[in-house]
Homo-oligomer: A and B are copies of this chain.
Amino acid sequence: MTNQSLTAAVLIIGDEILSGRTRDSNSGHIAAFLTEIGIDLKEIRVVPDEEDRIVAALNALRAAYTYVFTTGGIGPTHDDITADAVAKAFGIAIEHHPDAVEILRRHYATPEELTEARLRMARIPVGATLIDNPVSKAPGFHIGNVFVMAGVPKIMQAMLLNVEKELEVGVPVQSITVDCPFGEGMIGTALAEVARTHPLVSIGSYPILAARNFSTKLVIRSRDPVALAAAKAAVEAMLAAIIRDKAGDSTLTDY
């Protein structure tokens, strides 16, 4: 693939993912979003609700990638420690942000409604800018190259749309999927040769198992449309040759 420099990591914060109780859908959503705008997601990490682990992961990721997107841990309960961990990772203070307090005050009209717990959601690392939350008001925030979002998928998705304008966008990677009716073991050697002779594309090979038969999705990806088309033609020619040469092989749909 052609070089480009915009990279990202996703940091999912939450014991509930690590216990298997909740299946994470946020990382897949962010992955697809970033691919569309030409930012290469290079790593996803899931860590528990433990401050030292969040701090360590955040500092590793923000040093390594253009952007870091976190989800989870910014609600009003005792296990919501992400904002404190981000402040600690950056070595800065955390305070009630006046704009965040005002947003909550407009939504929760009386002091009884604006509980101490809800007010906790206005605690933001000093110097961060807020990310609007049209769903439930309490904002996310953005500091340095780190975007801190909610864990509830509907809220995270709304925040992500508001984050988009803050991001530098790259040239999107285009992809073409070629369906191969055989298992990977029947195409591996020829496919490696196609990959070797088409260095401007990356070719991923993904086995599909249905009943006891394997087929393969071949996904060709590149930022260069000419290289993409050439690789597609080469893959299709490769498959045609296998169909011609291997017809009748009883292991065509084995792995």
Chain A interface (Cβ within 8 Å of chain B)? 12, 15-25, 27-35, 40-49, 53, 75-80, 107-108, 112-113, 115-118, 120-121, 135-138, 152, 154-155, 173, 175, 184-189, 191-192, 195-196, 202-207, 209, 214, 219, 221, 249-251, 254-255
- Number of copies of chain A assembled together: 2
- Chain B positions within 8 Å of A47 at CB level: 42-43
Q: Which residues of B contact A202 (CB under 8 A)?
A: 15, 79
CB atoms of A48 and B53 under 8 A apart: no
Please classify the interface of chain A as helix (H, G, I), strand (E, B), loop, or mixed, using the class held by over half of its residues. Answer: mixed
Q: Which of A44, A77, A107 has the most CB of B within 10 A?
A: A77
* CB–CB A78/B188 < 8 A: yes
Contacting residues, chain B, for A112 (C-beta < 8 A): 249
* Besides A78-B203, A116-B189, 13 other A-B contacts (C-beta < 8 A): A17-B44, A18-B40, A19-B31, A21-B32, A27-B46, A43-B46, A107-B254, A113-B250, A115-B185, A117-B185, A117-B186, A136-B254, A152-B207
Residues of chain B within 8 A (CB-CB) of A136 are 209, 214, 254-255
- A118 CB to closest chain B CB, in angstroms? 4
